[in-house]
Amino acid sequence: MLKVILKGHDKYYGTADVVRLFFPSPTEDRAGGTVWCKDAPDIVIESELLPSGECVCRTKDKEYRFDGAPEEVGREIKRSLYMALSDICGIAPPWGCLTGIRPTLVAAQTGSAEELSRRYLVRPDKAKLAAETAAAEIGLLERIVPQDINIYIGVPFCPSRCEYCSFVSSDISHHMGRLGEYKEHLIREIKTLSPKITRRIATLYIGGGTPTVFSDEDFAELIDAVYGNLDIDPDCEVTVEAGRPDTITDRKLSHMASHGIKRICINPQTMNDVTLAKLNRRHTAADTLRSIEAARQNGFEVINSDLIAGLKYETPEDFIDTAEKIIATGISNITVHTLYKKRRAAMSLADVMASAKEVDDAVTAVYGMLEKAGYRPYYMYKQKDTGHGLENTGFEKGGTACLYNVAMMTDARDVLSFGAGGMSKRVFGQVDTAKYRVERCSSSKDVLDYMMRTDEIAAKKAEFFELS
């Protein structure tokens, strides 16, 4: 068992975050003054903040000392622990001691890739990526003024459950009879709140789950209700996450196109048919290519595909092969995800950690391929429990970045969510200023509960956004 003994400070959270880069599921024992991890070798480390302000990390045979300014104590504690664990484990997770879900926010604060590497021990290629992405995010955010609102419409249903997923999505094989009912409640919520929205809608994102899981008729009815009730002007960026290629039909594509929708996500995750079958995704790589072509034929100008590095059944070469095939389609948006452990997911973190270095190398290779093909990173986030703390990065070419993704992930703009599982948020003050704060208003994650309380949930959101 690994045990980190905290002395002179109470930075349990940051300590656990650093431990998590090396070993799974650390536990904070605040009463006992330790952070420990049962699935780890027997290691004892002391992490001490001395009265002088120096941070010291002691292992069996070495001491790591840092002497930062008082406001940097939290970082220095993490940095010394990161160095100790790096030496013990013989690995250096690429983001150094920079944990947390928004590396670009820290990159913007530090001002340069070099500084990010110096302060947080971030590997130079990741520091450069973060700095470049942070600059892109800042530029893109200027296109959404704080008075605007961004809308998310959630459809938490999928045609089957992917093995690695624990999203609140419902497998429709268990809820087939409820899908039409859910659509009715979603439309009801939209109709209730839309007359009260007086702010310009900058972006609209219909996501999931898999929004195209509906029948052609129900999908058309939902899209008609969205356009018939919300004030969507021609400048509003509208994106539909079609997700699974097996749910995309010509009728759905042409119906979206008839409303002027130009952005769609078609997410293969992998172009390997064997993996797709093992993951319980009921489509093939050929279906993905056919859907991309059909979307193009229907006038969609911006197509995004999500890819996942580190899938259980895949080698790094499989991931690189997937990226090659998707880049070859010439679509303008590609989002690279690294597999992370989600609650209730069928895969263990040990699976992920074992191949983390290989995944890191494959992701680096694919970033190089994307850069060569003219793609630039424009938004990024990390999730807890990702092997080696790897990131998810959205790439675009030709100025086709998805503003909604930036608004959502940077926590810099208001988002009003409709449907089960959606999180609405209001942002006060500018990011990185003393007045900045984000207030959140959740819907119900449970589809049945959402349907029982649709009016109550809508009323709560109206109050939250001061809509009358």
Contact footprint for ligand SF4 (CB under 6 A): 158, 161-162, 165, 167, 169, 208-210, 243-244
Q: Please, which residue, 79 or 244, has the CB nearer to ligand SF4?
A: 244
Name the residue number minimizing CB distance to ligand SF4. 165
Q: Please, which residue, 55 or 162, has the CB nearer to ligand SF4?
A: 162
Q: How far is the CB of 321 from ligand SF4 (least distance, A)?
A: 20
Residue whose entry in the numeric block shows the structure tokens 């406001």: 71
CA distance 228 to 244: 26
Q: How far is the CB of 210 from ligand SF4 (least distance, A)?
A: 5
Q: Please, which residue, 133 or 269, has the CB nearer to ligand SF4?
A: 269
Select from 317, 312, 291, 313 the least CA-distant residue to 303.
291
Q: How far is the CB of 226 from ligand SF4 (least distance, A)?
A: 20
Q: How far is the CB of 228 from ligand SF4 (least distance, A)?
A: 27
DSSP secondary-structure letter at 467?
-
Q: Which two structure tokens, joined as six digits, stand for 463?
A: 């109050």
Select from 4, 103, 126, 120 the least CA-distant residue to 66.
120
CA distance 174 to 124: 47
Buried b (16+ CB within 10 A) or exposed e, 253-290: bebbbebebbbbbbbbbbbbeebbeebbbebbbebbbe
Q: How far is the CB of 169 from ligand SF4 (least distance, A)?
A: 4
How far separated are the first and last CA of the chain, in Å rounded? Answer: 56
Beta strands in 87-199, from DSSP E residues, in sequence order: 149-155, 157-158, 170-171
Q: How far is the CB of 308 from ligand SF4 (least distance, A)?
A: 9
Q: How far is the CB of 381 from ligand SF4 (least distance, A)?
A: 16
Beta strands in 300-387, from DSSP E residues, in sequence order: 302-309, 333-338, 376-382
Q: Please, which residue, 6 or 271, has the CB nearer to ligand SF4?
A: 271
Q: Please, which residue, 15 or 272, has the CB nearer to ligand SF4?
A: 272
Distance, C-alpha 299 to centroid of its chain: 28
CB 156 within 8 Å of CB 166: no
Q: How far is the CB of 156 from ligand SF4 (least distance, A)?
A: 8
Q: Please, which residue, 24 or 245, has the CB nearer to ligand SF4?
A: 245
DSSP secondary-structure letter at 269?
B
Q: How far is the CB of 132 from ligand SF4 (least distance, A)?
A: 28
CB 116 within 8 Å of CB 110: yes
Positive or negative, the CA dihedral 361, 365, 371, 374 is negative
Q: Please, which residue, 87 or 171, has the CB nearer to ligand SF4?
A: 171
Q: Please, which residue, 167 or 464, has the CB nearer to ligand SF4?
A: 167
**CB contact set of 325 (below 8 Å; sequence gap of 6+):** 271, 285, 289
Q: Please, which residue, 191 or 282, has the CB nearer to ligand SF4?
A: 282
Sheet of 437-442: strand order equals 376-382, 391-396, 333-338, 302-309, 263-266, 237-243, 201-208, 149-155, 415-418, 423-428, 437-442
